[in-house]
Amino acid sequence: MYQEQVLKRIGIKLKRLRIQAGYNSYETFAWDNNLNRMQYWRMEKGSYNITVRSLVKVLEIHKITIEEFFSENL
């Protein structure tokens, strides 16, 4: 399933951004940034059909654009 693979790759990239920002825990990251912890965890796991709005919100926290996020290979 191509869609599932893409969601997993997006999740891996979000996790990498979180760790680069100094957060070892997805829960702490979500809490500090006023995100729903379970929703964010599902985003990182690739088990959530992420909306563009949700993705943009997380990318704004990391101060990167959606273009920058997708400019690297997923």
CATH number, domain of 27, equals 1.10.260.40
Q: Distance between CA atoms of 43 and 51, rounded to whole angstroms?
A: 10
Mean of pLDDT over the chain:
94
Give yes or no for residue 74 having a pLDDT over 60: no
Q: Are 43 and 11 in contact (CB under 8 A)?
A: yes
Per the structure, the complete domain to which residue 8 belongs is given by 2-71
Give yes or no for residue 73 having a pLDDT over 80: no
Q: How many domains does the chain have?
A: 1
Q: Are 45 and 6 in contact (CB under 8 A)?
A: no
**Three-state DSSP class for 73?**
coil
Q: Are 40 and 30 in contact (CB under 8 A)?
A: yes
